Amino acid sequence: MKTTFSLLFYLKRPKNYENGPMPIYLRITVNGKRAETTSGRECLPAHWNNTTGRFRGTKEEVRSLNAYLDNLQTQVYDAHKILTESGATITAELIKNKLLGKSEKAKMLIAVFKDHNKKVAALVGNEYAAGTVTRYETSLRHTQSFMEWKYQVADIDVKAVDHDFISNYEFYLRSEKKCANNSAVKYIKNFKKIIRICLASGWLEKDPFVNYKAKVKQVDRIFLNADQIRQISEKAFYTDRLNQVRDIFLFCCFTGLAYADVQKLKQSEIIKGADGEMWIVTKRLKTNTPTKVPLLPAALTILEKYSNDPFCIIKGKALPVSTNQKMNAYLKEIAGVCGINKDLTFHIARHTFATTVTLSNGVPIETVSKMLGHTNIKTTQHYAKILDLKVSRDMALLKEKYKAGAF
């Protein structure tokens, strides 16, 4: 990394100074950042040359003092040379510490990681979701356990993180932690953010991820087809809790809301749009992106059913949503009762909206992407790839055109 480096001797005016000699200070500047230290000498302002940064005059005492400053300057240049040859990230503070015989305090990886997580936790509800903190805390624990496993240490200097460290970390996640490909890649991605912080702060000079590549494998997304939606919708369950969970799950099938978004959905976020129809107008908790979804009749019916629910009235919520853990447990009961052989979870509702409810019925992918609150249409395209039924229908239309002699 190319650096700009300079040094300057100057007189520093003491606090409440009136007259007399001033201490001579040495200022080291690297890339615009300064570090200062006293030279251990002082001089009367009238005897100081600001241009040369030396004493005025030719007397033996003046020559001796200037020689002292020349020697100090040489020591600074020597310190800069030694640090440059060692491959260290040059800073003004580092040069000063080298000159004074002090060692720069190392930046420790786990300490940086913990500080990052603390800041993320402080911004929950503002810039981050609670789940983001959980993911980074899990990543931190994996990083700590890896270092104990590989190096038998609790923490290391960030400068020790190199390509070999990352490769071994990935191997550890896959072999010892039994992480699937995408989980391992996500943990490494979280770790990479910590490394970016170190690079941006000047604690690391070289990016250890330069020659590292890892790809997320596309996984099949589970969703319900129209018959399965009908099965769940028409089934009369034997308990109110199952009926309630079923209703909220179906609401998400018809709106595309994720659990976190329906859980926080307020009655005030159900508004009449410019078209005179009812819309959901909210923001995704995960990405803080705006989400606007026109309400289908089935979703409106569910909202009306719970409009007078005591919980909804007191909390101002659109629906009485339980914890995600409970909802998923009840959904497994619902799948069993309905004879649906799928591992039913709440997020499947979002997949169902994207596939069965919208894309397979001809809703343009750009519109679906906007309703889902995706920040990148590539995310939505994953759903389009799995719609064999839609492909079949489209090709059937093409066949009809061939039969009609259109080609």
Quote the CA–CA distance of 231 and 340 in Å, as a whole number: 9
pLDDT at residue 406 is higher than 60: no
Count of all residues that appear for the chain in the document:
407
Q: What pLDDT score does 1 carry?
A: 47
Considering the domain architecture, whether residues 118 and 54 belong to the same structural domain is answered as: no
In the chain, what percentage of residues exceed pLDDT 70? 94
pLDDT at residue 402 is higher than 80: no
CB 212 within 8 A of CB 167: yes
Token pair 């970390």: residue? 169
- The pLDDT tens digits of the residues spanning 334-377 come to 999 999 998 898 889 998 998 889 888 888 888 888 888 887 77
Q: Is residue 125 part of a domain?
A: yes
**How far, rounded to the nearest angstrom, does the alpha carbon of residue 175 sit from its chain's CA centroid?**
25
Q: Is residue 339 part of a domain?
A: yes
Q: What pLDDT score does 388 carry?
A: 59
Q: What pLDDT score does 220 carry?
A: 67
Q: What pLDDT score does 171 carry?
A: 94
- DSSP classification of residue 106: P
Residue type, 157: D
Q: Is residue 216 part of a domain?
A: no
- The pLDDT tens digits of the residues spanning 188-198 come to 999 999 999 99
pLDDT at residue 215 is higher than 80: no
More confident call, 400 vs 303 = 303
Q: What pLDDT score does 144 carry?
A: 95
What number of other Cβ atoms are within 10 A of residue 351's Cβ? 19
Considering the domain architecture, whether residues 120 and 89 belong to the same structural domain is answered as: no
Residues near 29 by beta carbon (within 8 Å), at least 6 away in sequence: 4, 5, 6, 7, 8, 92
Considering the domain architecture, whether residues 95 and 114 belong to the same structural domain is answered as: no
Quote the CA–CA distance of 320 and 244 in Å, as a whole number: 8
pLDDT tier at 115, thresholds 50, 70, 90 = very high
Question: Lowest-confidence range among 5-9, 70-74, 159-163, 317-321?
Answer: 159-163
Contacts for 214-220: CB closer than 8 Å, 24+ residues apart: 214/170, 214/184, 214/185, 214/188, 215/185, 216/181, 216/182, 216/185, 216/186, 217/181, 217/182, 218/382, 218/385, 219/182, 220/386
Domain boundary at 100, 133, 149, which?
100
Question: Domain of 160?
Answer: 109-200
Considering the domain architecture, whether residues 122 and 192 belong to the same structural domain is answered as: yes
| Residue 279, token pair as written in the block | 């819309």
Question: Given strand 33-43, what is the order of strands in its sheet?
Answer: 5-11, 22-30, 33-43
- The pLDDT tens digits of the residues spanning 371-397 come to 888 877 777 777 765 555 666 666 777
Considering the domain architecture, whether residues 171 and 303 belong to the same structural domain is answered as: no
Considering the domain architecture, whether residues 40 and 121 belong to the same structural domain is answered as: no
Q: What pLDDT score does 389 carry?
A: 61
Between the ranges 98-107, 295-304, 382-391, where is the mean pLDDT highest? 295-304
Question: Lowest-confidence range among 201-205, 288-292, 396-400?
Answer: 396-400
Angle at CA 166, nearest 5°, toward 163 and 172? 140
- The pLDDT tens digits of the residues spanning 75-85 come to 999 988 888 87
Considering the domain architecture, whether residues 188 and 261 belong to the same structural domain is answered as: no
| Residue 252, token pair as written in the block | 């998400």
Nearest residue to 358 (alpha-carbon basis) of 256, 270, 262: 256
Q: What pLDDT score does 284 carry?
A: 83
Residue 268 sits in a domain of what CATH number?
A: 1.10.443.10
Q: What pLDDT score does 404 carry?
A: 72
Domain boundary at 100, 120, 153, which?
100
Q: Is residue 172 part of a domain?
A: yes
Question: Lowest-confidence range among 65-74, 99-108, 319-328?
Answer: 99-108
- Mean pLDDT score, 43-58: 92
Considering the domain architecture, whether residues 159 and 242 belong to the same structural domain is answered as: no
Q: What pLDDT score does 405 carry?
A: 65
Q: What pLDDT score does 2 carry?
A: 60
Domain boundary at 72, 100, 128, which?
100
Q: What pLDDT score does 386 carry?
A: 55
Q: What pLDDT score does 101 carry?
A: 80
**How far, rounded to the nearest angstrom, does the alpha carbon of residue 213 sit from its chain's CA centroid?**
18
- DSSP classification of residue 386: T
Considering the domain architecture, whether residues 183 and 300 belong to the same structural domain is answered as: no
Q: Count how many domains the chain has.
A: 3
Strand bridging mode 48-49 / 33-43: unpaired
Handedness of CA 56, 62, 64, 69 (dihedral sign): negative
| Residue 45, token pair as written in the block | 């302002």
pLDDT tier at 242, thresholds 50, 70, 90 = very high
Q: What pLDDT score does 407 carry?
A: 55
In the chain, what percentage of residues exceed pLDDT 90? 54
